[in-house]
Amino acid sequence: MKSKIRELRKQHRLSQEELAQKVGTTRQTITSIETEKYIASLVLAYKIARYFDLKIEDIFDFSEMEDEHGKI
């Protein structure tokens, strides 16, 4: 799943390690989410969104799951 974590991290001048510490996970997990290898759980997605003061859907791209009418 595509996400804007890398862009947001760069905007906030945060390293992967620092972001991982803030949201209570490891650097490897942040790397995997950024490289689209791993889909974050709802709790982790919420923590990341909360940290950047955004909504989950503003960070994670759910368009792959939606049909042409925008429904899942």
Partner 1 sequence: MEKFRKQLTQRLIIHIFISLILIIFIILKINNILLPNGTSTFAKTYDIVTGLMTTGISLFYIRQTLIYQKALRSDITLKKLYNFENDERRNLINIKSGNPIILICSSIILLAAIVSSFVNATVFYTLISCAVFLVIVSNALKIYLSKKY
Binding site for partner 1 (CB under 8 A): 20-21, 24-26, 28-29, 32, 37-38, 40-41, 43-44
Smallest distance from partner 1 to CB 5, Å: 14
Smallest distance from partner 1 to CB 36, Å: 11
Decide whether 8 or 40 has the Cβ nearer to partner 1.
40
Tokens of 49: 């969104």
- Rounded-to-integer distance, Cα 56 and Cα 40, Å: 11
For 32, residues 6+ apart whose C-beta sits below 8 A from its C-beta are 38
